[in-house]
């Protein structure tokens, strides 16, 4: 893994020369964490999402919204190569992470997932203690010193707004926590590996409104340090928390009856929710979507 880690690091530092982009791909903006061009995701022969063009700015929250089957989760999962785990999944087009082609042969998907952490719909703490959950990533990365681990765990739990609630029971099992606490623990666990980006796939859909509000407040805090992308069914949540919103929808092929997702509109959240440019966005956010 170390070699491949270096590979990413090398690519970053020498981006403009050694790893120049193809001529037709245009300039890469410095403050964009991700840039995609003609990104499509296939499951076997089936194209699940097509032609996604997104530029994700640093330290902002970008929300992906749209009806079921529009491909928003598929797109999110392509940003840290989670789709690799599905044997038939394949990505076409370009997906640059800080100028590096995320799907290049030399890039280690494990290192990608350390830098680009993920929080899932259902809180999924390991059946271990609270401490061990957060220390899991750092331990795998080779950190063994107790003092250093303690610091990382405390800092991560602080950042996840969980420290005050759990500081007296760090050795208690994580599975005994409430759903909202478990989700914040998962965020703390992701943070502990010092990621650059946090991908959140419906992080609040299993939570009650208070726990949801707490996670939303936390996201506003976290964006000081991390770039965040969130997929949500709840477009009011996208409106509340995000700086930018991408609206996806699905097209149905009348011959094959297959649904293919596509990006309809991507703009500032204030624009998407007060004056969207595309009629399909307007219809969806006003509830006139068929």
Partner 1 sequence: MTEPLRTNFHGDLDAVRAEVVHMCAMVTEMIPRATDAFLNNDLTAAQKLIDEDDLLDAVSVNLDTMCTQLLALQQPMATDLREIVAAIRLNPEIERSGDLVVNIAKATRRMFGTEYQPHIRGLITKMSVEAQRMFRLAGEAYEGRDVALGAALDDIDDRLDEYANDLVAAVLSDHKAHERDPQTSIQMALLGRFYERVGDHAVNVGEWVRFIVEGWTPEQAGAQRAMARMNQQSTTPAAPADEQE
Query: For binding to partner 1 (CB under 8 A), which residues are involved?
Result: 210, 213-214, 216-217, 220, 236, 239-240, 269-270, 273-274
Q: Are 251 and 191 in contact (CB under 8 A)?
A: no
From residue 24, alpha-carbon distances to 27, 34, 99, 101 in Å are 9, 17, 15, 15
Our CB check for partner 1 shows the closer of 20 and 220 to be 220
Our CB check for partner 1 shows the closer of 12 and 217 to be 217
| Smallest separation, CB 214 to partner 1 (Å) | 6
Our CB check for partner 1 shows the closer of 217 and 279 to be 217
Tokens standing for residue 25: 């791909």
| Smallest separation, CB 266 to partner 1 (Å) | 17
| Smallest separation, CB 166 to partner 1 (Å) | 15
| Smallest separation, CB 265 to partner 1 (Å) | 15
Q: Of 195, 146, 188, 198, nearest to 167 (Cα)?
A: 188
Our CB check for partner 1 shows the closer of 60 and 269 to be 269
Our CB check for partner 1 shows the closer of 2 and 210 to be 210
- Residues 87 and 102: their CA atoms lie apart, in Å, by 18
Q: Of 153, 134, 211, nearest to 178 (Cα)?
A: 211
Q: Of 114, 224, 218, nearest to 163 (Cα)?
A: 218
| Smallest separation, CB 216 to partner 1 (Å) | 7
């Amino acid at each position: 893994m170390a070699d491949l880690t270096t590979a990413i690091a090398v690519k970053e530092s020498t981006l403009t020369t050694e790893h120049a982009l193809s001529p037709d791909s245009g300039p890469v903006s410095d403050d964009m964490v991700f840039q995609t061009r003609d990104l499509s995701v296939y499951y076997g022969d089936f194209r699940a999402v097509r032609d996604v063009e997104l530029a994700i700015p640093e330290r902002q929250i970008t929300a992906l919204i749209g009806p079921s089957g529009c491909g928003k989760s598929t797109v999110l999962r392509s940003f840290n190569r989670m789709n690799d785990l599905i044997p038939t999944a394949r990505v076409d087009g370009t997906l640059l992470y800080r100028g590096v082609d995320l799907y290049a042969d030399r890039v280690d998907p494990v290192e990608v997932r350390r830098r680009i952490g993920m929080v899932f719909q259902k809180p999924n703490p390991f059946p271990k203690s609270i401490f061990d959950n957060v220390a899991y990533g750092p331990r795998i990365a080779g950190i063994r010193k107790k003092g250093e681990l303690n610091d990382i765990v405390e800092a991560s739990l602080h950042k996840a707004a969980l420290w005050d609630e759990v500081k007296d029971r760090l050795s208690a099992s994580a599975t005994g926590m409430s759903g909202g606490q478990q989700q914040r623990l998962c965020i703390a666990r992701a943070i502990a590996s010092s990621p650059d980006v946090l991908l959140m796939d419906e992080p609040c859909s299993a939570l009650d409104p208070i726990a949801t509000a707490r996670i939303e407040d936390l996201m506003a805090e976290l964006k000081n340090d991390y770039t965040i992308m969130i997929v949500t069914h709840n477009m009011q949540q996208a409106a509340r928390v995000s700086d930018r919103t991408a609206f996806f929808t699905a097209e149905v092929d009348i011959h094959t009856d297959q649904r293919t997702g596509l990006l309809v509109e991507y703009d500032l959240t204030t624009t998407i929710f007060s004056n969207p440019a595309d009629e399909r966005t307007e219809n969806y956010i006003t509830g006139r979507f068929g």
